Structure 1
Amino acid sequence: MTVLRIMGIDPSLRNTGMCLGHVDITTGEIDWRGIAMVQTKPADKAKVQRQNSADLVSARELHRGVHKQFAEWRPNIITGEVPSGAQDARAALSFGMSIMLLASVPVPIIEVTPREVKIATGKKNATKAEIIEWAHQLAPHLPWLRATGKFRKPDKFDAAGNLISKGYELPAGRLMDDNEHMADSMASVAACVQTTQFMQMMAIYSAKAA
């Protein structure tokens, strides 16, 4: 069996999620092999850290983390959403870092759109929670982030102080919201294998394997 190793990357300044999928070039089926995440911290105001210094530290941590996984997983291609349309300077900085991070990986990249990523989960308007659940159902064996203790969601109120919804307790062992970044990277891979570009690449590999 010949497989293509695809590394999905969901890049951002604070949380970059990654995954590895092995795609059978005959059947197109994905065997999910791994997930990982790189998290960075904002400037430490207590230490009077300059913002640009903190950004440089974050950029180095992201580059180091992504390339560590790249070296371990040795993908043939990567895939992910290339961000666009920043609304302010900080968002533009994050987008720039994300694009450079994707460009720094020395293998071909197949770009996917936010719409393609959501459709790949089976719901074109999928919420973050639904994407996490979708990814977990596909690969429950992977090391998903789980809460170690109970947590109570607080009551929600409107601007006038009226109760909108009652809080509720979430149990220990639940899937954490931070899983969204790794789940998004899996959805990117699922979207990637549906693209014309990937189909063409798979045909080339199939011809070489014949």
Structure 2
Amino acid sequence: MRVLGIDPGLRNTGWGVITVDGPRLRHVANGVIQTTADGTSTDLAQRLSQLYRGLCAVIATYRPDLAAVEQTFVNKDAVGTLKLGQARGVALLAPAEAGLPVGEYAPNAVKKTVVGVGHAGKEQVQHMVRVQLPGVTFEGPDAADALAIAICHAHHMQGRSMREARPKGVA
């Protein structure tokens, strides 16, 4: 099974693809889709279009079976939060249009799954991603976060599969 993790952002959207074979995880690829501003009134629409085309290209190239997207956290900058939400909408749309089931995870849930602590720092997350995907080289911090999201989704899907495989009445 291949899992695509997406860390949405309007300027930089990280993506990471892993394979899951039972309890084993393997790194396939990772990268960052960078959008550019042109200073026109259509700037936001153009950036969202760049993001969509970039994600579609990643999906076409690596053919994941599942996708997961990090949920947006709300901060004090309402305009920034709204723009991030729009980028997140594109990050949900691209895999959905490709027919992929899409999971969503809060940042703290990703950190808790990958590191064991919900308020872990970026360095701790990157370290644990390296431990779980030996030999991985990140194309940037957003790509590392995307791989963490993919790992989180893989673990949650494995847990769900184990629960569904249990005979009824067994806790």
TM-score (norm 1): 0.66
**1:75 and 2:64 matched:** yes
Q: Secondary structure at the match of 2:120?
A: coil
Corresponding residue number in structure 1 for 2:92: 102
**Residue from 100, 111, 128 that aligns with 1:134:** 128
Checking the alignment, whether the CA contact within 8 Å between 2:71 and 2:107 is kept in structure 1 is no
**1:53 and 2:14 matched:** no
Corresponding residue number in structure 1 for 2:169: none
In structure 2, the CA distance between the partners of 1:128 and 1:28, relative to structure 1 (3 Å rule), is same
Quick check: which has more Rg, 1 or 2? 1
Q: Distance in 1 between matches of 2:153 and 2:42?
A: 35
> What 5-or-longer segments of structure 2 have no aligned partner?
166-171
In structure 2, the CA distance between the partners of 1:22 and 1:197, relative to structure 1 (3 Å rule), is closer
Counterpart amino acid of residue 121 in structure 1: V
Aligned length: 160
Instruction: Compute the RMSD of aligned alpha carbons.
Output: 2.5
Checking the alignment, whether the CA contact within 8 Å between 1:35 and 1:142 is kept in structure 2 is no
Q: Distance in 2 between matches of 1:201 and 1:123?
A: 20
Q: Distance in 1 between matches of 2:128 and 2:111?
A: 11
* Percent identity over paired residues: 22
Q: Which moved more, 1:83-92 or 1:186-195?
A: 83-92
User: Which whole-Å deviations, capped at 9, do the CAs of 1:17-74 have from their partners, x for residues lacking one?
Assistant: 11111111xx23211111111012344xxxxx32x32212211211111111100111
> What 5-or-longer segments of structure 1 have no aligned partner?
44-48, 146-178, 205-210
**CA deviation after TM superposition for structure 1 residue 195, in Å:** 2.2
Counterpart amino acid of residue 89 in structure 2: I
**CA deviation after TM superposition for structure 1 residue 111, in Å:** 1.5
In structure 2, the CA distance between the partners of 1:70 and 1:201, relative to structure 1 (3 Å rule), is farther
